[in-house]
Structure 1
Amino acid sequence: MMRQDIMVSDGRTSGGVYRYYVLVLLMLTFMFNIADRLVMSILIEDIKAEFVLSDTQIGLLAGTAFTVFYLILGVPAGRLADRTNRKNMVAIALALWSLMSALCGAALGFWTLLLARLGVGVGEAGGGPPSVSIITDYFAPHELSRAMGIFAVGAVLGPVLGYMAGGLIAEAYGWRWTFVILGVPGILLGIILFLTIREPKRGRYFTPEAKPTGADKGAEKQEPFMTTMGSLWTNSVFFRVVLANSFTNIPSFAFAIWLAPMLMRNFDVGSGEVGVYLGTVLFFGGVPGMILGGFLADYLAKKNPKWRPWYCSVAVLLVLPFWTLCLLSDSLEMTLFLYISGYVLLVSTQGAAISMVQSAVLPTERGTASSISSLSINLLGYGIGPALIGLMSDNWADAYGTMSLSYAVIVTVVFSLAIATFLFWWTGKAVNSGLAKV
C-alpha cells in the first residue's frame, strides 16, 4: 500500500529518492552561485591594498558590477526558463559564471576586475530561475517550503565556502589563486548536472485548486510576455512577497560583503582567521535555520496559510536588535554571537518566501516570476546597497575612523528590516484560503 504522506490530491506520488539527488545538485549550484559572489568579501582588504581602492570602488566591484548584467538578462533568462530545457540552462550558466569567477584572478586593476565581475553576473542570471522552476515540478505543493528550505541551504554553504576556504586559500596562495581554485569546481559540477539530471514535466503538480485567483490560463502554454507581466503585476501575493524579501536581503547582503572587512578593521584579525570564524558560525547557525524554518512555515500554513508571510514578518522584526547591537559591540566574540543569532532568524524565512513566489503563480510563469524576484533582490541588495554603504563609509571616515563602515551598515539594517517587517505583514493580508493547498 502506498504511504499516504507521499500522495497528492490527484493520486500522483511525490516520493522518490532521485528528486532529492536533483535537489542536492541544485542546492550545490546555488552554493557556488553565492560563493562566487561573496568570495570577494574575504579578499577585499588584499585587493584594496594592491590596487589602492576606496570603499566606494569596492562596493561597485562586490555588488554593482555583478548586478549590471543581471538587470539586463535576468527577466529574459527567466522567460527562457519557462519555454526551454531548464537543466541545460542551469548547467551552461553554472559553467559560465564559474569560468568568469576564475578569470577574476587574472585582473590587472580596477577595470579588468570590474569586467570579470560583470561576466559572473552574465552566468548567474541564468541559474536561479530555472533551478526553482525544476524543484517546483519535482516536489508536491505541501512539501514545497521544506524543499525550498533545503535548496536555500546553498545560500548558507556559499558564504561558508567563500569565507572559510577563501580566507585560508588567500593566506596560503594569495587572492588571485583564490578566485581560480574556487572557480574550477563549478565548471565540473556544471558537467555533472548536464549529464545526470532529467528535465521534469512542466506543471506536474499544477491543479485548478492551486491556480491563482483570476487566472484562466493553462499549465503548459506560455502566454505572450506582456500578458505574463500583467498577470504578475496584478498578483498581489507575488508582488508583495517579492518586495518584502528584497528588503529582507538588503542587510543580509550588506553583512555578507562588509562583515569580514569590518572585523579585520575593528579587531585586527587576518583573513584566514575571519574566514574560519564566519564559516563556522554561518554553517552551524544557517543550515538548521534554513531547514527548520521551511518545516515550521509548512506546519503553520496547514492551520492558516497567512502564517507563511506572518512568520516571516515576526522573524525579520526579531533580527533588527541583534544585528544593530552586533555592529556596536567592542568584543569579537559578542559580535559573532549577535550576528549569528540574527542570521538564524533571517535565513529561516527564505524557504517560505521562495515557496510563496512559486505557489502564487502559474507553472508557465514560474521562471519569469523567479527572475523578477531575483532581479529585485539583486538590484536592491547588490546593485545599490554595497556601493551606497561604501560611499557613506568614505564620507564618514574622517569623523568616525574605522567605525564609519559599521555605522553605514547600521543605517541600512534599521531602514531595510523595518520596511521588510511591514511588507511581510502586508503580504499576509493578501493571502486567502485558496492558497491553503500550495
Structure 2
Amino acid sequence: MQTSTGESPNAAERGHAPAPEGVERASPYAYYALAILVLANFLNYVDRHIVSIVGQKLKVDLALTDAQLGFLIGTAFAVFYGVVGIAMGRIADALSRTRLMALGLALWSGMTAVAGLATSFAWLAVARLGVGIGEAAANPCSHSLLSDYFPARNRSAVLAVYLLGTHLGAAASLIGGGLMLSHWDTICLSFPDGACGIANWRAAFFVTGAPGVLLALLVFFMREPRRATAVRKTGTLRLVILELSAAIPPLTLVNLYRIGGMPAVTRNLIFALIVIVIATGLSLTVGDWPQWAAVALGVYSVSTWAGVLRRRDTPLHRLTFGCPTFGYVAAGGALSTVVLGAAQAWSAPYVMRTLNATPAEAGVALGLAGATAAGISVVAGGIITDFWKRRDPRAPVWIALIALVVPVPAFVMMLRAETLAGYVAAYSVFMLISMLWAGGFAALVQDLVLQRMRGTAASAFSLIMILVGSGIGPYWVGKISGLTGSLATGMLSVLTLVPVAAVLLVMGARRLPAETRERRLALARAAGEPV
C-alpha cells in the first residue's frame, strides 16, 4: 500500500522523512537520462573550475591580486548563481525541466567562451557572472528529474552517480587546462590558421565552452517525466518574471508590495539599507568593493526570497527555510564546503607557486588524483549512506561529519609537503574522505520535502552551499594570502570553520529522528498543503 505522496508505510516506520517517488522501478530510458545529466554536470564543472588552473596566467597577464583571483574563482560566479537559483527552483517545479536545463547549459557554456575574450578584471567578472546565471538551472532541474526517473530506495546512489560528474569535470578542467597552457604551441597546429596567435589561457576558455552548446540540444529533447502535480499553466515569460522578482532588486519591491503592502516594502528597504551600510563599511575597511557588493546582493536576495516564500508558498517555506532541521544541516554542509572549496580552488596555484610545478604537471597530477579519489568517495558514500539510512535516518549527517573532521590532518599535510608527489598523496587522501557525504546529503534534502517541492528544495540547498562555499571561501583564502604573503596561511585559515560546521551538523542530526513521514506531512497540512 502507498500513500497519496507515493511513499511506502515501511519508510515511515523506519522514521524517514517524506521521500515521495514517482516510479517503483527505473526504466532503461532513466539510465540514458542519467548519462546525459552526468555529462551535463561534467561540463558544468569543467566550465566552473577552469579558472583555477589558468588563474596564475590570468594573475600575471591581467595584473590581478589574489583577492581578485579569489573573487573570480568564487564570488562572481557564486552570488549570481545563487540569486538566479532562488527563482530557478520554483521555475523548475512549474515548467519543463529538460528545456530549462538546456537553456542554462547553452548560456553557461557560451559565457565560458566569452571569458576567453576578456581584457580586464571587469570583463572576466561579467563572464563569470553569466556562467553562474546559466549554471543556476543545473541542480534544481537535474535533482528533480532524477528523483522522478528513479525510485526513492536508489536515490542516494543515483544522485551520487550524478555528482560523480562534478569531480570528473573538475579534474578534466585541471588536466585539460594544464595541458593547454603547457602545450598550446603544439596543440594549436591542429586548429584552423590563426589559432596559434591566441594566448593559451584564452584558448582554454574557448575549448572548454564549446561542447556544452552541442550537448544542450540532447538535453532539450529529453523526455519530461510525469509529475504528480500538473505543470503550472501560467505563461512562461510571466512566470519567469514573477519568480525573478522575488529575489532581484528592485523588482523585489514590486513583489513585496503585492503580497504585503507598504509595511512589507518599508521593512525590506530598512533591511536593504542595513546590508548596504555593512557592505560599505567592509569595503572601506578591507577594500575589494566588488566582493562586498556581491555578498550584499546575495544576502539581500536570499533573505528577501525567504520572506516572499513564507507568504507565497507557506508549506514549502515551512519545510525548508522555516525548518530548523533543514537549516542546521544546510548551514553545516555549507561551512564544510569552505574547506573543500579551498583545497579544490587553490591547489593548482599553490603547487605552481610553492612547489614550482608546471601547469601540465599540476593539472594532470591534481586532476587524476582528485577525479579518482573523489569519484570513489562520492559513489561509495552514496551506497554506504543508503545502506546505513535503513537503520538510522541520521546516516547522511553522520557521513557528512566524518567527511568534515577526519580529513583535516591530510589537509594540513598537503601544505607541509615539500614535493608535488607529497602534496598529491595528501590531496588524494583528503578528497577520498571529503566527498563521502555528497550523494546522501543531496538525497536527504529531497527526502525532507514533498514531490512538488523537489526542484525548489534542491535550489535552496545548492544556493546555501554555493553562496557560502564558493562565495566566501576562495576570496577568504586569497585575501589572507595577500595580507600575509603566504598562500598556505590563507588555505589553513579556513580550518577555523570546522568546529562550527561540526556543531551545526550534530544539532541537525539530533533532530532528524523526529522528522518522520507523519510529522513532515502534518507540518505541510498545517501550513495549508492539500495532502
Scaled by the length of structure 2, the TM-score of the pair is 0.73
Which string of whole-angstrom CA distances, capped at 9 and with x for unpartnered residues, describes residues 169-204 of structure 1? 122330001001010001111111112x21112259
In the aligned structure 2, how far is the partner of 1:176 from the partner of 1:193?
27
Alignment of 1:300-311 (within 5 A): 300-311=388-399
1:199 has 2:224 as partner: yes
In the aligned structure 2, how far is the partner of 1:246 from the partner of 1:319?
17
1:416 has 2:497 as partner: yes
Q: Secondary structure at the match of 1:52?
A: coil
In the aligned structure 2, how far is the partner of 1:103 from the partner of 1:31?
19
Which string of whole-angstrom CA distances, capped at 9 and with x for unpartnered residues, describes residues 358-417 of structure 1? 1111112221111111111111111122112111111101xxxxxx111111110x1233
| Alignment equivalent of 1:166, drawn from 153, 169, 177 | 177
Question: Counterpart in 2 of 1:25?
Answer: 36
Provide runs of 4+ in structure 1 moved above 4 Å: 7-12, 433-438
Which string of whole-angstrom CA distances, capped at 9 and with x for unpartnered residues, describes residues 298-343 of structure 1? 1111112122211221232101111122112223222111111111
1:429 has 2:440 as partner: no
Q: 1:318 to 1:20 in 2, by over 3 A?
A: same
Q: Is the 8 A contact 2:23 2:148 kept in 1?
A: no
Q: Secondary structure at the match of 2:472?
A: helix
| Alignment equivalent of 1:317, drawn from 405, 427, 439 | 405
1:93 has 2:104 as partner: yes
Q: Secondary structure at the match of 2:94?
A: coil
- What amino acid is aligned across from residue 489 of structure 2 in structure 1? Y
Q: Is the 8 A contact 1:163 1:279 kept in 2?
A: yes
| Alignment equivalent of 1:190, drawn from 216, 220, 223 | 216
In the aligned structure 1, how far is the partner of 2:419 from the partner of 2:445?
39
Q: Secondary structure at the match of 1:432?
A: helix
Q: Is the 8 A contact 2:370 2:427 kept in 1?
A: no
Question: Counterpart in 2 of 1:56?
Answer: 67
Q: Is the 8 A contact 2:84 2:133 kept in 1?
A: yes
Question: Counterpart in 2 of 1:108?
Answer: 119
In the aligned structure 1, how far is the partner of 2:395 from the partner of 2:359?
41
| Alignment equivalent of 2:203, drawn from 168, 177, 181 | 177
Which string of whole-angstrom CA distances, capped at 9 and with x for unpartnered residues, describes residues 129-185 of structure 1? 111011111111111110111011011111111100111112233000100101000
| Alignment equivalent of 2:340, drawn from 252, 257, 264 | 252
1:271 has 2:359 as partner: yes
Q: Is the 8 A contact 1:305 1:433 kept in 2?
A: no
Alignment of 1:9-48 (within 5 A): 9=8, 13-48=24-59
In the aligned structure 1, how far is the partner of 2:82 from the partner of 2:514?
35
In the aligned structure 2, how far is the partner of 1:289 from the partner of 1:228?
32
In the aligned structure 2, how far is the partner of 1:304 from the partner of 1:227?
26
Q: Is the 8 A contact 2:397 2:508 kept in 1?
A: yes
Q: Is the 8 A contact 1:145 1:295 kept in 2?
A: yes
Q: 1:28 to 1:341 in 2, by over 3 A?
A: same
Question: Counterpart in 1 of 2:489?
Answer: 407
- What amino acid is aligned across from residue 493 of structure 2 in structure 1? V
Larger-gyration structure (1/2): 2
Q: 1:8 to 1:429 in 2, by over 3 A?
A: closer
Q: Is the 8 A contact 2:369 2:424 kept in 1?
A: yes
How far the C-alpha of 1:15 sits from its partner, in A, is: 2.9
Q: Secondary structure at the match of 1:153?
A: helix
CA RMSD of aligned residues (A): 2.2
How far the C-alpha of 1:434 sits from its partner, in A, is: 5.7
Alignment of 1:306-345 (within 5 A): 306-345=394-433
How far the C-alpha of 1:426 sits from its partner, in A, is: 2.1
Scaled by the length of structure 1, the TM-score of the pair is 0.88
Q: Is the 8 A contact 1:238 1:356 kept in 2?
A: no
In the aligned structure 2, how far is the partner of 1:331 from the partner of 1:277?
12
Q: Is the 8 A contact 2:355 2:420 kept in 1?
A: yes
In the aligned structure 2, how far is the partner of 1:279 from the partner of 1:12?
37
- Identity percentage over the alignment? 31
Q: Secondary structure at the match of 1:53?
A: coil
In the aligned structure 2, how far is the partner of 1:329 from the partner of 1:106?
36
Question: How many residues of Structure 1 are paired with residues of Structure 2 in the alignment?
Answer: 407
Q: 1:406 to 1:436 in 2, by over 3 A?
A: farther
- Bigger drift between 260-269 and 361-370 goes to 361-370
In the aligned structure 2, how far is the partner of 1:143 from the partner of 1:34?
24
Q: Secondary structure at the match of 2:407?
A: helix
How far the C-alpha of 1:224 sits from its partner, in A, is: 2.9
In the aligned structure 2, how far is the partner of 1:268 from the partner of 1:96?
36
How far the C-alpha of 1:251 sits from its partner, in A, is: 1.4
In the aligned structure 2, how far is the partner of 1:427 from the partner of 1:410?
26
How far the C-alpha of 1:230 sits from its partner, in A, is: 3.6
Q: Is the 8 A contact 2:477 2:491 kept in 1?
A: yes
Alignment of 1:217-228 (within 5 A): 224-228=312-316
Q: Is the 8 A contact 1:137 1:203 kept in 2?
A: no
In the aligned structure 2, how far is the partner of 1:59 from the partner of 1:200?
39
In the aligned structure 1, how far is the partner of 2:399 from the partner of 2:71?
34
Which string of whole-angstrom CA distances, capped at 9 and with x for unpartnered residues, describes residues 2-46 of structure 1? xxxxx9849953132221111121111111111111110000111
Q: 1:203 to 1:423 in 2, by over 3 A?
A: farther
In the aligned structure 1, how far is the partner of 2:399 from the partner of 2:107?
37
- What amino acid is aligned across from residue 80 of structure 2 in structure 1? F
Q: Is the 8 A contact 2:113 2:205 kept in 1?
A: yes
Q: 1:308 to 1:61 in 2, by over 3 A?
A: closer
Q: Is the 8 A contact 1:8 1:14 kept in 2?
A: no
Which string of whole-angstrom CA distances, capped at 9 and with x for unpartnered residues, describes residues 98-150 of structure 1? 00001100011111111111111110112211110111111111111101110
Alignment of 1:114-129 (within 5 A): 114-129=125-140
Q: Is the 8 A contact 1:71 1:379 kept in 2?
A: yes
| Alignment equivalent of 2:330, drawn from 228, 242, 264 | 242
Q: Is the 8 A contact 1:156 1:286 kept in 2?
A: yes
- What amino acid is aligned across from residue 408 of structure 1 in structure 2? G
In the aligned structure 1, how far is the partner of 2:480 from the partner of 2:457?
33
1:395 has 2:406 as partner: no
Segments of structure 2 that go 5 or more residues without pairing to the other structure are 1-5, 10-21, 185-199, 230-310, 521-531
